Amino acid sequence: MGDMTIVVGGLRLRNPVIAAAGTFGFGAEYGEIYDPARLGAVCTKGLTLRPRDGNPPPRLHETACGLLNSIGLQNPGIDAFIREELPRMKEQGITVIANVLS
């Protein structure tokens, strides 16, 4: 296969495929079915300064033409991400794009 390397904002990626924010968790969750290191990068779910529990259930509502989603930005917080998730992602060889919310 040819070289698919790209540079985005100074970040060198092995290919242009990036898992979208919130759709791929932190990547490790999919390790048994797909090697996330094969992606160009994983854009993390949204991270806030402090942990957030998100909204109480129900968080999803089915409609005739789709789904309404109100997760509420549930996340472990930046410090927990750096301490717990980031080392795992780096160990797996995942290029990380952190999605930080303000």
Give pLDDT, residue 59: 93
At a CB cut-off of 8 Å and minimum separation 6, what does 102 contact? none
Contact between 11 and 97 under an 8 Å Cβ cutoff? The reply is yes
Tell me the per-residue pLDDT of 30-69, one tens digit each, with 9 for 90 and over.
878 989 999 999 999 999 999 999 999 999 999 999 999 9
> Domain containing 68: what range?
6-97
Return the closest-CA partner of residue 45 out of 91, 77, 13, 9: 77
> In whole numbers, what is the pLDDT of the chain averaged over residues?
93
User: Residue 71 is which amino acid?
Assistant: I
- Binned at pLDDT 50, 70 and 90, residue 3 comes out as very high
pLDDT at 28 over 80: no
Q: How many domains is the chain built from?
A: 1
Q: Is residue 1 assigned to a domain?
A: no
68-89 average pLDDT score: 95
- Per DSSP, which regions of the chain are E strands? 6-8, 11-13, 18-19, 41-43, 60-63, 66-69, 96-97
